[in-house]
Structure 1
Amino acid sequence: MTGERMGRIVMKFGGTSVATSSRILSVAEIIRSRLHQRPLVVVSAVGVSFKGESKITDQLESLAELAHAGKPFDSNLEAIRTKHEKIIEELELSWDSVASTWELLTKAIANTNRPYREFLDEIFSFGERFSSRILSAVLNNKGIPARYIDVDELGSITDQNFQDATVPVENEEQVLAGFRDEERILVIPGFVGRTPDGRITTLGRGGSDYTAALVGAAFEVDEIQIWTDVSGMRSADPRLVPDAERLEVISFDEAKELASFGARVLHPKTIEPAMRKNIPVVILNTFDPQAEGTTIRNERIKHGKVIKAIASKTGVIRLDIDSTSMLGASGYLARLFNVFAKYETEIDVVATSEVSVSLTVNNSRNLDKVIEELKTFSNVSLAHGKTIICVVGEGMRHTPGVSGRVFSTMGTAGVNVELISQGSSEINITFMVDDKDAERAIKALYYACIS
């Protein structure tokens, strides 16, 4: 699809936005207020409604673990039903509005004769499928014609990387291809896709943002709105820096860096489809719909501050790999990274010298196998309890003295810095500290470089 924009928007509502019946009713009114923009609505699974409650996605994962292992799971299944029944009753809907999806869940649980990751993804998908069905029924009850889209109609054809699937660029045009002329409000489950042979996949935790971007790119909409529980992105984590300022406008490049390194408002994969179609992404607050948010645009946006924001990711594992065979040899790094690819272990940050490589990974899945194979041709050591800190800003391009300011601030704060890296974009500097020093480091950077 090419040419002029269609004058439409995508509205994606996160789990906190649909966690209770009252919040779902508020979402319906927000949608009503934008009917003139013919919104395409993407929904996450219902979120946590009280402290200590498990997320639906976590409950579904527990259910899948028990079922696949042949252990009793009736109480887990009942807890999931009870959560949704309560919302449905409070909304004065009938269980019939989700009955067909519930039947699909019970059938999926019985089909355990398949690899666990494949099985888990189908079970995962029901969180978003239930919430989307409920919101669609609410909209119809309120006189807003709506059409629920199930995963087999969505057209998000992914690769086979279960739990973190991606829709190849060449498949993006297939998303909702059969619904381009649908007049009703399309209510779409986020987070889900299908392999070419029809097996259900999921797009990674927070992948509903990615679904919103895919839908927006397919329809070439005017704007993709991500409705969450905060008014836009902040220049630092407000839990660590309560007075961190709202970012009014940032570039796609800045957003990619922030999302990749811990800014929880946006899923990292969201950026690419929107950027390719030059569609702005706006972060808005469901609980304060009139509040201004953050707009992400495909342009370099500089302002008076060289460093615009700080992101961080805690609980990271660092691997230090060294071998004298690296010196003057070709192909060593390829061999090293092939090991991580073989065991589907994602690398975040890399720093190299002539004879050593330091890198970080997010989780320990398959890490023992990675290390075992690496040790056949290298020395390997491990360090847990690390935090990646990333400072970001378009103003950092070609600005002398930025690194000096960052690291002198760390020295003044008494924070030891490890594993320094800067990407080719020149808009970020990434480094590592101990988890115990992370809060002190972020606060020091914020007040020295931003506020």
Structure 2
Amino acid sequence: MIVMKFGGSSVANAERIRHVASIIQAYQKERPVVVLSAMGDTTDHLLEAADLAVRGTVDCEKIEKLHRDTAKELGVTVSAIEDLLEELKTLLTGISMLRELTRRTRDYLVSFGERMSVRMMAAFLTQQGTKAKFYDAWDIGMVSDSNYMSAELLDEVWENIPKALSDYRDQKTDEIPIVTGFIAKDKNGIITTLGRGGSDLSATMIGAAMKADEIQTWKDVDGIMTTDPRVVPEARPVPEVTYEEAQELAMFGAQVLHPRSMIPCRKTGTPVRVKNSYNIKSPGSLIVESHTGPRPPVTAITTVKNVTLIDIQSSRMLGASGFLAHIFNQFLKWEISIDVIATSEVSVSLT
């Protein structure tokens, strides 16, 4: 079994959905579980619609047009998407009446993108003769805490997912699961979103819980590159990196998996492969626990732009207890993330 994750640009329109469907069909013998993001710019359009609703205007024309035009071009009738569009209108009407958008309501709102995406893909695969079934994340046991907009999955997910997908794992059904990324439900049945890297986290959680042979995340490059190919055209794919290296690269600007999404696969040692949806034959880059061959002197080079460096110097730091705590409490107060810290007896520098 493998897990295949496709981002929004991979399913942005009918042409891309056809292409992704062909990739899924090519890997059908490996019994894939597919994780999808919302189509193209749908999440942005949903947030735009929310902003309008807060000002009293209900308008979701962009979202309706994209999904109806795509369904028409694919030649599929997706009544489930029409039901969701009606539900979305009702939600936007409620927002327009209250003139308020809470974090909880925002999560409910943006969930429509992923939910419509999986229904579209499942319908098209079925039309093409490939058995598929869509699942909202909570259908397979994705339960989170109630930290809306940046929820964390609960430990029970490790047991829920194998139970929910046991028939597919045991080959009692051939319907390929098409699962929403990025979203979950809390203990009260309220929809939550998993924050940055949420779709990647959904995929790695499913792969780790199911003890998949491999988790594949499909992007628009041939894997993890030695550096940014937009800056250095001679950049080439890195065949193999460790989880630790991939996390460091991601933290410092490389377009790899989000660091938090690697936590589940590190627990189980499940390998992650970064592949190119525009170049299926490319082997991509494999992320593993440790190198299987000689470790290169330099794996890759990345950069971070718009970094703010703060340097604090004070003789009162010398031998004082709690001085740094007072400083970092200010960053906590304003919810500012710190990347790198360097300290001495009388100074602290951070970015």
Q: Is the pair's TM-score, using the shorter chain for normalization, greater than 0.5?
A: yes
Question: Does the 8 Å contact 1:351/1:359 carry over to 2?
Answer: yes
Q: Shift of the alpha carbon at 1:343?
A: 4.1
State the match for 1:402 in structure 2.
none
Pick aligned residue for 2:234 from 237, 243, 246: 243
Alpha-carbon spacing, 1:59–1:264, altered in 2? closer, same or farther (3 Å): same
Q: Shift of the alpha carbon at 1:185?
A: 0.9
Q: Shift of the alpha carbon at 1:90?
A: 0.4
Deviations 1:360-401 (A, max 9, x none): 3xxxxxxxxxxxxxxxxxxxxxxxxxxxxxxxxxxxxxxxxx
Q: Shift of the alpha carbon at 1:169?
A: 4.3
In the aligned structure 2, how far is the partner of 1:121 from the partner of 1:229? Answer: 27
Q: CA RMSD in A?
A: 2.2
Give 1:329-368 correspondences, 5 Å limit. 329-360=320-351
Q: Shift of the alpha carbon at 1:315?
A: 2.5
Question: Does the 8 Å contact 2:238/2:285 carry over to 1?
Answer: yes
Instruction: Determine whether 1:145 maps to 2:125.
Output: no
In the aligned structure 2, how far is the partner of 1:213 from the partner of 1:205? Answer: 14
In the aligned structure 2, how far is the partner of 1:279 from the partner of 1:118? Answer: 33
Question: Does the 8 Å contact 1:340/1:346 carry over to 2?
Answer: yes
Give 1:20-35 correspondences, 5 Å limit. 20-35=13-28
Specify the SS of the correspondent of 2:147. Answer: coil
Alpha-carbon spacing, 1:330–1:157, altered in 2? closer, same or farther (3 Å): farther
Specify the SS of the correspondent of 2:88. Answer: helix
Alpha-carbon spacing, 1:254–1:343, altered in 2? closer, same or farther (3 Å): same
Instruction: Determine whether 1:87 maps to 2:70.
Output: yes
Alpha-carbon spacing, 1:99–1:93, altered in 2? closer, same or farther (3 Å): same
Instruction: Determine whether 1:227 maps to 2:235.
Output: no
In the aligned structure 2, how far is the partner of 1:10 from the partner of 1:247? Answer: 21
Give 1:36-435 correspondences, 5 Å limit. 36-47=29-40, 55-67=41-53, 69-74=54-59, 77-112=60-95, 116-169=102-155, 171-175=157-161, 177-182=163-168, 183=173, 184-300=175-291, 303=294, 305-360=296-351
Q: Shift of the alpha carbon at 1:71?
A: 3.0
The structure with higher relative contact order (CA 8 Å, sep 6+) is 2
Specify the SS of the correspondent of 2:274. Answer: strand
Instruction: Report the AA paired with residue 141 of structure 2.
Output: G
Deviations 1:1-42 (A, max 9, x none): xxxxxxx10011112211121221121121112121111000
Specify the SS of the correspondent of 1:309. Answer: coil
Instruction: Give the stretch that moved more between structures: 199-208 or 129-138.
Output: 199-208
In the aligned structure 2, how far is the partner of 1:302 from the partner of 1:317? Answer: 38
Question: Does the 8 Å contact 2:78/2:120 carry over to 1?
Answer: no
In the aligned structure 2, how far is the partner of 1:250 from the partner of 1:304? Answer: 9
Q: Shift of the alpha carbon at 1:172?
A: 3.4
Specify the SS of the correspondent of 1:85. Answer: helix
In the aligned structure 2, how far is the partner of 1:245 from the partner of 1:296? Answer: 16
Instruction: Report the AA paired with residue 78 of structure 1.
Output: E
Question: Does the 8 Å contact 2:149/2:194 carry over to 1?
Answer: yes
Alpha-carbon spacing, 1:78–1:292, altered in 2? closer, same or farther (3 Å): same
Question: Does the 8 Å contact 1:250/1:301 carry over to 2?
Answer: no
Q: Shift of the alpha carbon at 1:326?
A: 2.7
In the aligned structure 2, how far is the partner of 1:129 from the partner of 1:308? Answer: 38
Structure 2 gaps of 5+ residues are: none
The structure in which a higher percent of residues are strand is: 1
In the aligned structure 2, how far is the partner of 1:209 from the partner of 1:229? Answer: 15
Question: Does the 8 Å contact 1:156/1:172 carry over to 2?
Answer: no
Instruction: Give the stretch that moved more between structures: 298-307 or 30-39.
Output: 298-307
Instruction: Report the AA paired with residue 305 of structure 2.
Output: T
Specify the SS of the correspondent of 1:144. Answer: coil
Deviations 1:275-329 (A, max 9, x none): 1111110011111111120001111456464121112222333334444443212
Question: Does the 8 Å contact 2:243/2:289 carry over to 1?
Answer: yes
Specify the SS of the correspondent of 1:314. Answer: coil
Alpha-carbon spacing, 1:244–1:221, altered in 2? closer, same or farther (3 Å): same
Q: Shift of the alpha carbon at 1:353?
A: 2.4
Instruction: Report the AA paired with residue 34 of structure 1.
Output: Y
Instruction: Report the AA paired with residue 348 of structure 1.
Output: D
Instruction: Report the AA paired with residue 11 of structure 1.
Output: M
Specify the SS of the correspondent of 1:330. Answer: coil
TM-score (norm 2): 0.90
In the aligned structure 1, how far is the partner of 2:124 from the partner of 2:29? Answer: 19
State the match for 1:377 in structure 2.
none
